[in-house]
């Protein structure tokens, strides 16, 4: 998908609306991981250098169309101000910001409050979204789409607004698309995909699309138990999506026919309860006791996953191998992350949450080939779906 690239001559000195993805994890007003803000800096700097005045539109969480103080973007504006060294004005009102926009001089930034505080942003009704986008379009002469984590959403500020003004993709979106294009068009082989996280239903589409493209598929996380159940194994109290068992069975059969190597864990770290203090025990994945639930891939499996990963020339990884938030169940994710850092080839960590997980476990961004800011967006791209936010910039 060829997105339009940003030409300085098109934007020099203009009032630019910049759609960013600044959806960072925040608790009690504190930003736990500012990766997405940092990833947005390149385009912002470029616009400042071109003497643009910038109106930033972004979202935080899912406020469902009404103001929620805990989801205000104000702490994000403050962090951006610190990182970029330029004052960031803030407008609590989204629809009545014209006055502040008019006062914005070249080289200055104004951030609007969480765009999802307005229900029109995410409305299913196209005419509602269009009307909202028309109101937003008055804030600028040019639209730059750089919120990669939201490009799979047909939302007013991502899709309709991009079509109302002259537009281009920002540096982050361009970099993300370049990496994903490489993964879909010309991956160096062997090409392995490692998937984890909570649900199979979120990822079955991408797995199906990838089966005839990859050489290896390694599965861990909560989603693996639907795979183990599909193979007739006992999974105790582990997470499972019963209605997907037959789909997973068909998928495994197709992988077999295509000669794709599927790696499932041989051992599992189980516990009686889903909490940080529950006692971990390692059992065979063939036989998880009825009163236990699987919360991580076992140590033997982690080593097998790591060795398979290190044999690959291209790796895409999305989703933790276990409940990494609890130290007792973080080993699988840690070992897999470490293996990625040792691959002699291209490694892509897909997803804001996976990125936050590797940082929380002590890894540095530059230990990986590329850390994508968009989980859902990168998965949908790999699934082969058309992403509205990219289509609007093409």
Footprint on residues 331-350 left by ligand AMP (CB under 6 A)? none
Binding segment for ligand AMP (CB under 6 A), chosen from 92-100, 102-110, 193-201, 359-367, is 193-201
**Minimum separation from the CB atom of position 48 to ligand AMP (A):** 34
131 contributes a contact to ligand AMP by CB under 6 A: no
The SS3 call for residue 30 is strand
283 contributes a contact to ligand AMP by CB under 6 A: no
**Minimum separation from the CB atom of position 202 to ligand AMP (A):** 5
**How many other CB atoms are there within 10 angstroms of residue 205's CB atom?**
15
From 199, 234, 261, 272, residue interacting with ligand AMP (rule: CB under 6 A): 199
The number of C-alpha atoms within 13 Å of 8 and in the hemisphere containing its C-beta is 8
State yes or no: is 352 an active-site residue.
yes
374 contributes a contact to ligand AMP by CB under 6 A: no
Residues in the chain: 394
Binding segment for ligand AMP (CB under 6 A), chosen from 60-68, 162-170, 198-206, 385-393, is 198-206
Beta bridge partners of 91: 112
198 contributes a contact to ligand AMP by CB under 6 A: yes
Q: Which of 352, 374, 375, 389 is catalytic?
A: 352
**How would you classify the pairing of strands 234-235 and 261-263?**
unpaired
From 140, 187, 197, 388, residue interacting with ligand AMP (rule: CB under 6 A): 197
Cβ contacts of residue 69 below 8 Å, gap of 6+? none
Which residue has the closest beta carbon to ligand AMP? 197
**Minimum separation from the CB atom of position 393 to ligand AMP (A):** 26
Q: Which of 4, 100, 163, 199 is catalytic?
A: 199
Binding string, 285-324, against ligand AMP, x = CB under 6 A? ---------xx-----------------------xx-xx-
State yes or no: is 36 an active-site residue.
yes
From 63, 221, 374, 376, residue interacting with ligand AMP (rule: CB under 6 A): 221
Closer CB to ligand AMP, 353 or 367, in the complex:
353
Closer CB to ligand AMP, 330 or 390, in the complex:
330
The phi, psi pair for 372, rounded to 5°, reads -75, 145
Q: DSSP code of 5?
A: B
CA 346, CA 179: separation in Å to the nearest integer? 10
**Minimum separation from the CB atom of position 89 to ligand AMP (A):** 34
b/e 296-306 (16+ beta carbons within 10 angstroms → b)? bbbeebbebbb
b/e 318-344 (16+ beta carbons within 10 angstroms → b)? bbbbbbbebebbbbbbbbbbbbbeebe
The phi, psi pair for 282, rounded to 5°, reads -100, 130
Among the listed residues 292, 231, 291, the one whose alpha carbon sits nearest the alpha carbon of residue 266 = 231
From 145, 192, 222, 265, residue interacting with ligand AMP (rule: CB under 6 A): 222
353 contributes a contact to ligand AMP by CB under 6 A: yes
State yes or no: is 203 an active-site residue.
no
Q: Quick check: 76 and 38 in contact, CB under 8 A?
A: no
Closer CB to ligand AMP, 158 or 295, in the complex:
295
Structure tokens at 230: 């599909």
From 49, 181, 287, 325, residue interacting with ligand AMP (rule: CB under 6 A): 325
Q: Which of 19, 36, 79, 153 is catalytic?
A: 36
The phi, psi pair for 274, rounded to 5°, reads -90, 80
CA 176, CA 153: separation in Å to the nearest integer? 16
Cβ contacts of residue 85 below 8 Å, gap of 6+? none
**Minimum separation from the CB atom of position 27 to ligand AMP (A):** 14
Q: Quick check: 96 and 119 in contact, CB under 8 A?
A: no
**How many other CB atoms are there within 10 angstroms of residue 241's CB atom?**
18
149 contributes a contact to ligand AMP by CB under 6 A: no
Structure tokens at 121: 């942003």
Residues of this chain that interact with ligand AMP (CB under 6 A) are 196-199, 202, 221-222, 239, 294-295, 319-320, 322-323, 325, 353
Catalytic residues: 36, 199, 352, 376
């Amino acid at each position: 998908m060829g997105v339009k690239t940003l030409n300085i001559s098109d934007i020099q000195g203009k009032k630019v609306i910049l759609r960013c993805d600044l959806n960072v994890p925040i608790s009690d007003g504190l930003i736990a991981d500012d990766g997405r803000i940092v990833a947005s800096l390149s385009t912002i700097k470029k616009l400042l250098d071109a003497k643009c005045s910038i109106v930033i539109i972004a979202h935080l969480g899912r406020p469902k169309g009404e103001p929620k103080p805990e989801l205000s973007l104000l702490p994000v504006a403050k962090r951006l101000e610190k990182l970029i060294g330029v004052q960031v004005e803030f407008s609590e009102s989204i629809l009545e910001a014209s006055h502040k926009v008019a006062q914005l001089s070249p080289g200055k930034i104004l951030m609007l409050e969480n765009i999802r505080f307005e229900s029109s942003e995410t409305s299913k009704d196209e005419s509602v979204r269009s009307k909202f986008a028309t109101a937003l379009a008055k804030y600028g002469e040019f639209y730059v789409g750089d919120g990669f984590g939201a490009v799979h959403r047909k939302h007013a500020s991502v899709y309709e607004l991009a079509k109302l003004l002259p537009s281009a993709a920002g540096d982050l979106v361009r970099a993300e698309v370049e990496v994903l294009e490489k993964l879909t068009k010309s991956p160096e082989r062997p090409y392995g995909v490692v998937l984890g996280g909570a649900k199979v239903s979120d990822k079955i589409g991408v797995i199906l699309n990838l089966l005839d493209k990859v050489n290896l598929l390694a599965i861990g996380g909560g989603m693996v138990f639907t795979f183990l159940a599909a193979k007739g194994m006992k999974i105790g109290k582990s997470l499972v999506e019963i209605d997907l068992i037959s789909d997973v069975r068909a998928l495994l059969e197709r992988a077999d026919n295509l000669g794709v190597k599927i790696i499932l864990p041989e051992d599992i770290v189980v516990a009686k309860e889903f909490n940080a203090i529950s006692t971990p025990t390692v059992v065979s994945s063939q036989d998880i006791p009825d009163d236990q639930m699987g919360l991580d891939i076992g140590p033997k499996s982690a080593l097998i996953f790591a060795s398979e990963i290190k044999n690959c020339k291209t790796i895409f990884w999305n989703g933790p191998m276990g409940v990494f938030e609890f130290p007792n169940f973080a080993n699988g994710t840690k070992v897999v992350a470490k293996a990625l850092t040792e691959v002699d080839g291209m490694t892509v960590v897909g997803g804001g949450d996976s990125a936050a997980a590797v940082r929380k476990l002590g890894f540095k961004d530059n230990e990986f080939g590329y850390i994508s800011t968009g989980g859902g967006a990168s998965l949908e791209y790999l699934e082969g779906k058309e992403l509205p936010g990219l289509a609007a910039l093409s």
